Amino acid sequence: MELFLHLRSMRPEPVVDMRGLPTYAEPRAFVAGERTSRNGKPIHNHILLALPEAEFELLRPALSFHELPANTSLHEPGHKLEFVHFLNRGLVSTVVTTKQGKTVEVGVVGNEGLVGTPAFVGLSQSPHRAIVQIAGDSFGISVAELQNILPSSPNLLHIASLHAVIQGMQAAQSAACNRLHAVEQRLARWLLIMQDRVNQHLLRVTHDFLAAMLGTDRPSVSLAAGILQKKGTIEYTRGTVRVVNHKRLEETACECYTVMQQFNEVLGIR
């Protein structure tokens, strides 16, 4: 299906040869750290690495480097979007918060993506909170600068649109998962998705945090973590979860992980 084309496989703009005929050069495959910001910071964000040279150079002067400590809020529900963040390191959760203060995670973004997709279609705010779950950094661009650049950046708009569609599909799957599957299955799915993006066996998270992300309570998370630990899939100590058997954790997770995993190649996740 066309949707599942990898970002690297986008056909570049034609170049006219000596005979006046259009030819297509092979796309330049940049690797993590090969490109840098205007201040010399190495870039690991997959979207920025996938852009054609001309579009990246157009965007580069407008990018500012942001340190992202854990629990930093990048934007709040209903507030004006000021910045779009291309995640470089770390992990950001997209969270729905009710008037009663209850929360549930509906999406995650690592260095495969960006935070602030509504800005690409002219929306000035989002109904969701974006909060840094694992500390890292990003390259930010103001919404005003982004919207000035977009008319000259069709590839960036295409990639951002693809990213937004995939995020929507994953949010829908998460909603079904939170309604239909047991907490231990959902916890296993969540841990696998996190590990895919940060490529670490040790995740620094508390039961309270997990409860907020999974839309349940702390006792339920404690019980689910105990079940996974007894199965030999994880080791849980205060404030940290270590994945000790990835394959067995996959077997414990519901089918939602497999459904979401099919988008990994599109997003550049291995």
In a domain, 259, yes or no: no
Structure confidence at residue 264 (pLDDT): 67
User: In percent, how much of the chain has pLDDT > 90?
Assistant: 53
pLDDT in tens, 116-138: 999 999 998 988 999 998 899 99
- Provide the pLDDT confidence category of residue 18 given band limits of 50, 70 and 90: very low
For residue 98, the domain's CATH number is 2.60.120.10
Among 142, 175, 208, where does a domain finish? 175
Residue 88 covered by a domain: yes
Q: Are residues 158 and 225 in the same domain?
A: no
Q: Are residues 128 and 247 in the same domain?
A: no
Do 96 and 147 fall into the same domain?
yes
| Domain co-membership, 90 together with 137 | yes
Predicted confidence band of residue 197 (pLDDT cuts 50, 70, 90): confident
Q: Give residue 79's identity as a one-letter amino acid code.
A: H
Residue 109 and residue 113: Cα distance in Å, rounded?
A: 6
- What is the domain count for the chain? 2
Rounded mean pLDDT of the chain?
Answer: 85
d(CA 156, CA 56): 9
| End-of-domain residue from the set 175, 206, 227 | 175
Q: What residues pair up with 97 in beta bridges, in sequence order?
A: 103
pTM above 0.85? Answer: no
Residue 220 shares a structural domain with residue 89: no
The answer to whether residues 223 and 113 belong to one domain is no
The residue among 121, 149, 175 that closes a domain is: 175
Mark whether 131 and 212 lie in a shared domain. no
- pLDDT score of 19: 46
The terminus-to-terminus CA distance of the chain in angstroms comes to: 19
pLDDT digits 0-9 by tens, 32-88? 888 999 989 999 999 999 999 999 999 999 999 999 999 899 999 989 999 999 999
Whether the per-residue pLDDT at 263 is higher than 80: the answer is no
Residue 24 lies in a domain: yes
Q: Do 92 and 206 share a structural domain?
A: no
Same-domain check for residues 202 and 242: yes
Residue 268 lies in a domain: no
The residue segments making up the domain with residue 26 are 2-175
Judge if 106 and 164 occupy the same domain: yes
Q: Which residues pair with 11 in a beta bridge?
A: none
Same domain? 159 vs 195: no
DSSP 30-51: --TTTSB-TT-PBP--HHHHHS
Residue ranges with strand state E in 143-266: 202-203, 234-237, 240-243
**What pLDDT shows up at residue 220?**
94
**Length of the chain, please?**
270
Beta-carbon contacts of 174 under 8 Å, excluding residues fewer than 6 positions away, are: 105, 106, 107, 256
